[in-house]
Structure 1
C-alpha cells in the first residue's frame, strides 16, 4: 500500500469582487492555488497561466524529481506571463501567487512550492501548522519585530505582496516532507486566511471529516466574514491506496 491524495476544491467569487481571479487545481498527485493580481482581466489571466503551466505535473513523479518538476513548471508559468505582458503592455504589473503541493509516485515524499500570500496548512495529529510564510510587506514587519502577528491581521497594507510570479525568474520557497496517512492539507487563497481566524480554520478541518463538506464550510466562513475577496480552498486527505 502506498499513500495517495484525495482532494476537493471549492472557489467562490466572494461578495464584493466583480470576478474571480483565483485559479485552482486539485488532483491525485498535485494541488495548486493561484491568486491573480494586477487588474481584473490581467489577474485572471496570470492565475490561469500559472495553473495551466503546473497542472501537467499531476502524474506519477519520481521522488528525486519533485522540486525540479515544480521549478520547471514555474519557469514555464513565468515565461507565459512575460509573453502575455509583451502582447499587451497594459498588462504590465500583472502577476499571481502560487502555492502547490506535489506528491511523489511512491507516496513517501511530497514537495511544497510557494510564492506570494496564498497559504498551505497541514493538520496532523489534531494540530494545524501553517507551512508557508507570506511574501508580504506586513509579514516582513512581523519578522523584524516592528508589529505583532495580531496587528498584521488588520494592518492597512496587509495586501501588499512582495514576491509573486510576474514574468521574471523566481525561485519559490520549497519545503519537502514525509506524508503520513491521516494527514489533511489545506491550500487556500488569502480570501480565506485574511478573514477567518486560524483557530476557526483548524476547527473546520477537525470537525468535518468529509473533505467536500469541509471545503464548503471554510468558504461559508469566509462569506459570513464579509467575503471581501475571492475565496479558494483545496482540502486534501492523505490516504492509504492500492
Structure 2
C-alpha cells in the first residue's frame, strides 16, 4: 500500500469584492493557494502568475528534491512578478501570498512552502493544527506578547502582511513532514480563516468526508459570515492505495 494525495479546490469572490484575486491548484502531487494583493488587476495577475509558476511541480518528485523544487517554483514566480512590474510600472506594489504542499512520489514525505497569510492546517486523528505561521503585523504582535491571538482576530491592522511574493527577495518558510493515512489538509486564503473559527473548521472537516462537499461547506460558512473577502479552499486527503 502506498500513500497518495487526493485533493479538490474551490474559490468564490465573496459578497463584497467585485472580482476574485485568489488562485489555486489542486492536483495529484501539489496543492497550492495564492491570495493576490495590490489593486484589482495586479493582485489577480500576481496570484495567477504564481500558481502558473508552481503548477508544473505537480509531478512525481523524489523526497530529497521536494524543498528544492518548491524553492525553484517560488524563484520563477518572483521573476515573473518582477517582469510584470517592469512591463507596467503601475503594477508596482502588487504581490501575492503562497501556501503550497508538495507530496513525494513515494508517499513517504511532503514539503510545505509558505509566505504571507494564507494558511495550511493539518487535521489528524480529530485534532486541527495550524501548520503555517502568518506573515502579518498582528502575528508579530502576538509573538511579542503585545496582544493575544483572540485580539489579533479583530485587530484593525490584521490584514497587514509583512511578507509576500512581490518580485523582490523574500524568505519563505519551508518544512517537511511525514504523512499518515487519514490525514486531511486544508489550505485556504484569509477569506476563510478570518471569518470561520478553528473549532468550526475542525467540525466541518470531520463531518464531511467527501472532499467536494467539505470544501463547498467551508465556502458557504465564509459567505454566511459576510463573505468580506475572496475565499479559496483546498481540501486534500492522504489515502492508502
Runs of 4+ more than 2 Å apart: none
Query: Hey, what does 1:214 align to over in structure 2?
Result: 214
Query: Hey, what does 1:161 align to over in structure 2?
Result: 161
- Per-residue Cα deviation, 1:169-206 (whole angstroms, up to 9, x for no partner): 22310111000000000000000000011111111001
Gaps of 5+ in 2: none
- 1:120-159 matches, within 5 Å, as 120-159=120-159
- 1:100-119 matches, within 5 Å, as 100-119=100-119
| DSSP 3-state at the match of 1:19 | coil
| DSSP 3-state at the match of 1:223 | helix
- 1:72-111 matches, within 5 Å, as 72-111=72-111
Given that residues 215 and 233 in structure 1 are in contact (C-alpha distance below 8 angstroms), is that contact kept between their aligned partners in structure 2? yes
Query: Hey, what does 1:15 align to over in structure 2?
Result: 15
- 1:24-103 matches, within 5 Å, as 24-103=24-103
| DSSP 3-state at the match of 2:105 | coil
TM-score under structure 1 normalisation? 0.99
How many residues are treated as equivalent by the alignment?
241
- Per-residue Cα deviation, 1:3-25 (whole angstroms, up to 9, x for no partner): 11110101000000000000000
Gaps of 5+ in 1: none
Query: Hey, what does 2:177 align to over in structure 1?
Result: 177
- Per-residue Cα deviation, 1:14-46 (whole angstroms, up to 9, x for no partner): 000000000000000000000000000000000
- Per-residue Cα deviation, 1:80-125 (whole angstroms, up to 9, x for no partner): 0000000000000000000000000000000000000000000001
